[in-house]
Amino acid sequence: MRVLDSHLHLWDPSRLDYAWLRGPLATRFGAAELAAAHARTDGDITAGDSGHAAAVFVQADCAEEQFLDEVRWVAENAEQTGVIGIVAGARLDRGAETADYLASLAELPLVVGVRHLLQGEPDGTATSETFLTGAETLAARGWTFDACIREQQLPDVDVLATSVPTLRIVLDHLGKPAVGTAAAPLAPSADWIRGIRAVAAHGQVSIKLSGLPGEAGGSWTAAQLIPFLDVAAEAVGPYHLLWGSDWPVSAIGADGYRPADRDRWLQTVADWAVARGHDVDAILWGNAARIYRVG
């Protein structure tokens, strides 16, 4: 079974600055650490086979002035990490500065999209005039936009998709719904379901099956998270779903870094897709390859 991880993070605090890193995440997660995580794979998932595994790197929120340096560093390590596409950090609300930055980004290898991290921005950021202008400039380049938001910001993504219909949007982490924990699971909320359905109604929107283990603080069960996968599949259809590991963020639990959790999440999504009769190869490889235009 081939696997294209649509949401891989890599970082090295000795090379770049990451103000948000804390606890077990505040160390290097690079080629060697990723190889060790892959080596744990067993069962039906052959993620350790370089001929059947690849990844799209998603910006890891380094200091803004280092966004281009992050792309260069990841590209330098692409062969060792299996990265075949890069979603770079960007600010889309800087007017002419945004256009100049995207032009500079276009000169670097492997870039397929950008992410302006919205989860920490005020609600309405993605619907501002300056942001929409930047989104139009991004769409003109044919790149994707990864929307990493909180659940209450789903209406902003709806407006963004309406305002810039040529922009291909990938919703990270299913919009970060509240999922609870294994001991105290939460069902999908009515507001989240409504928001997902509204966003999914736009043909250019896809949903990344990623991040839910992280939203559960590393304490999760398949039974707890599968209802969220079902809602996403019903809303957008199986050919706009992408599996992503959110490694290493979603491999952190109360007891620290747990490398096996990457493939536990992979197996959970694969088993769910088989049980529901979905196209497993599309969800684990083909959709991401098509949407990010990486082969």
CATH number, domain containing residue 79: 3.20.20.140
> Mean pLDDT, the chain, as a whole number?
95
Confidence at residue 1, expressed as pLDDT on a 0 to 100 scale: 85
Confidence at residue 43, expressed as pLDDT on a 0 to 100 scale: 44
Assess whether the previous peptide bond of 248 is cis (omega < 30° from 0). yes
Confidence category of residue 40, pLDDT binned at 50, 70, 90: low
Confidence at residue 13, expressed as pLDDT on a 0 to 100 scale: 97
Using left for φ > 0, alpha for ψ between -120 and 50, and beta otherwise, residue 147 falls in beta
**Cα(279)–Cα(286) distance, integer angstroms:** 9
The terminus-to-terminus CA distance of the chain in angstroms comes to 17
Confidence at residue 38, expressed as pLDDT on a 0 to 100 scale: 83
Q: Is the pLDDT of residue 51 over 70?
A: no
Contact present, 8 and 291 (Cβ < 8 Å)? no
Q: Is the pLDDT of residue 110 over 50?
A: yes
What mean pLDDT is predicted for residues 45-49?
41
The four Cα atoms 215, 86, 119, 180 give a dihedral, to 10 degrees, of -10
Q: Is the pLDDT of residue 83 over 50?
A: yes
**Cα(63)–Cα(245) distance, integer angstroms:** 23
Q: Is the pLDDT of residue 145 over 50?
A: yes
Q: Is the pLDDT of residue 213 over 90?
A: yes
What mean pLDDT is predicted for residues 97-101?
98
Q: Is the pLDDT of residue 48 over 90?
A: no
Tokens 């390859």 belong to 289
Total domains in the chain come to: 1
Q: Helices 96-105 & 67-76, crossing angle to 10 degrees?
A: 10
Confidence at residue 99, expressed as pLDDT on a 0 to 100 scale: 97
Residue-number span of the structural domain to which 126 is assigned: 3-291
